[in-house]
Structure 1
């Protein structure tokens, strides 16, 4: 609740500050259009988070496990319960889904309403200690509030991008066309300039959001190490590195869901996960404890 309150206050502060700049500079933007766009920008982010569990379950065709049907499911549920107690969060719902990929992820609106999804390949191929570490990684994401923080950051970035693009578009258009009234009436040119600027700022905002996403992975690795021990989490990372190097994993899922990153590339700026080598280095050197 505190994160959402801060999110709303931050967005209101941004709106008031940028609106003041507009007034000082004599730039007028339709108030109804402005309010509706801002509402859609961050309320849309919250709605997507609220629906994340439902959307995810539909996408992966996952099976919710409330009552274990075999010993393996019982062991997994007990691991989740134990780690939830350690981190003092409500026990997440366990979901298992069929996949030929070693994969796991967590989602949900907050730490007391979340799910942890495990692929059948992960369950079948990883050792008990490694599964413990993977679950602890996801538990850390939940206890750190990573899902809601990511959503709030997205909403704030949307607000900033919208206002800055409108301010700069108006300034740029007024510079080209000296008559202010004429510049406001030139809707097509304004739309084109605004679109280009929004695209540019949107890319910059994406880099910031993805940077945060990569940072939270380091923290989740460190959180896993605290819960089950560093060696267990390192074992998972080394296994993922081996899988990747042997070209066993063929990624067909949304990158946010994966527990490993990609190799060095400029496009890493837009990756949700850091490379496995960086994660191993950070964990060994205790960079995010």
Structure 2
């Protein structure tokens, strides 16, 4: 219910902000007088902006399993599988969420959590992570992923993506219409100026929007690290796990779930990275931040 209310409030807020922005800029009367239906454009922008994001979230579990080849542990067959399932169950009960599906996939060290609902999520770890970490370190990583689910990070990130997508679509088309009417002097319908300007603006605005989404994604990693420390009763295991990850080549996750992994090397594209540097995450845990 909270997620539905949040979704509705977010939609209302986006409509309100866009309406106020157009009026403050003095564009509403000009655009309306020149034949642009702002109400229809806003509805179209929200349909595309939120529709795509919500659809991606709803199929995120299926997509994650398909793209990584993750094997869901239905009935534990080995001691390691039994330990994985029981550890996830312990963290889930402590965090107050439903038991997630637990999966293993072949690959370099990494882990992720995804799913549209807190009580029906998926937590997966790679064989590389299991083979390169101690059980205590894996325990901390699992706590980190459970914290993501408990915090509702997947839903919140989807809503933020939907908001910025809506702004990008709306303002790129408003800019295209203005340029077409003012610069190219198109009198009927829309001309090349509209399409060219809309495409260019959508690329530029999209880059800026990606930076906003990436910033939030980095912020939520600090919260999930702190959540793991709380579930484990100490930040020490998560710090050890991060140090271990810093010394190995992390596994590359498919783009659709990259933001949900345990790590992602930012490199020179730090502003677009879904994860902060491991050193910064360790420093935050050691300083008691999150």
TM-score calculated relative to the size of structure 2: 0.88
Q: Determine the structure 2 residue equivalent to 1:145.
A: 152
Q: Distance in 1 between matches of 2:149 and 2:216?
A: 15
- 1:281 corresponds in structure 2 to 283
Unaligned runs of 5+ in 1: none
Q: Secondary structure at the match of 2:248?
A: helix
Q: CA deviation at 1:37?
A: 3.9
Partner of 1:173: 180
For the pair 1:269 / 2:244, whether they are aligned, the reply is no
1:46 corresponds to which residue?
54
Between 32-41 and 194-203, the greater mean CA deviation after superposition: 32-41
Does residue 256 of the first structure (1) align with residue 284 of the second (2)? no
C-alpha contact 2:229 2:238 (8 A) present in aligned 1: yes
The match for 2:230 is 226
Distance in 2 between residues matched to 1:252 and 1:158, nearest whole Å: 23
Q: Which secondary structure state, in structure 2, belongs to the residue aligned with residue 243 of structure 1?
A: coil
CA contact (8 A) 1:11 1:159 kept: no
Write the distance in 2 (CA, Å) between the matches of 1:13 and 1:239.
42
Q: Is contact 1:103-1:257 (8 Å) kept?
A: no
Partner of 2:133: 126
RMSD: 2.1
CA shift at 1:94, angstroms? Answer: 0.3
For residues 282 and 17 of structure 2, the distance between their equivalents in structure 1, rounded to whole angstroms, comes to: 42
**Where does structure 2 lack aligned partners over 5 or more consecutive residues?**
none
CA distance in 2, matches of 1:114, 1:139: 9
Partner of 1:81: 89
Shift of 1:261: 3.2
Secondary structure of the equivalent of 2:193?
Answer: helix
Aligned 8 A contact 1:4 1:152 in 2: no
Q: 1:84 to 1:140 in 2, by over 3 A?
A: same
- Measured in 2, the distance between the counterparts of 1:110 and 1:176 equals 48
Instruction: After TM superposition, give the deviation of residue 250 of structure 1 in Å.
Output: 6.0
Q: Say if 2:242 is the partner of 1:237.
A: yes
Give the 3 Å change call, closer, same or farther, for CA 25–284 of structure 1 in structure 2: farther
Retained in 1: the 8 A contact 2:100–2:120?
Answer: yes
Q: So what's the TM-score if we normalise by structure 1?
A: 0.89
Q: Does 1:210 align with 2:214?
A: yes
